[in-house]
Amino acid sequence: MFFIAVFRTDWKNKGLKSVSATVSLLSLDMFLFSRISDSSVYPLTQALMPDMQSWLILLYYVAIVATVFLLSFIAAVIKDGAQRFI
């Protein structure tokens, strides 16, 4: 629902409008690919960082969420490009 509202918003900044429209159109694919990204990123990072201090948890969380978002976005763009090509 959030991405539908963002997609329909009239943005004055063309760059922001383009990015938000792209993410909005790919949001379902990103949601579906995020499960695959989660299942591959979390075990890898847990193996690399077994003992974390409490103040590093926030940094860990931000880095993991950003990584999963970017991997899901890239996979959705590739899927969308392949679907348009076929």
pLDDT at 78: 92
SS3 (DSSP) at 81:
helix
pLDDT in tens, 30-85: 888 888 888 888 887 777 776 666 667 777 778 888 888 899 989 998 998 888 88
pTM: 0.66
The CA-atom distances, in angstroms, between 48 and each of 21, 28, 51 are 36, 30, 9
- Count of helices and strands (H, E) across the chain: 4, 0
Q: What's the CA gap between 10 and 48, in Å, rounded? A: 43
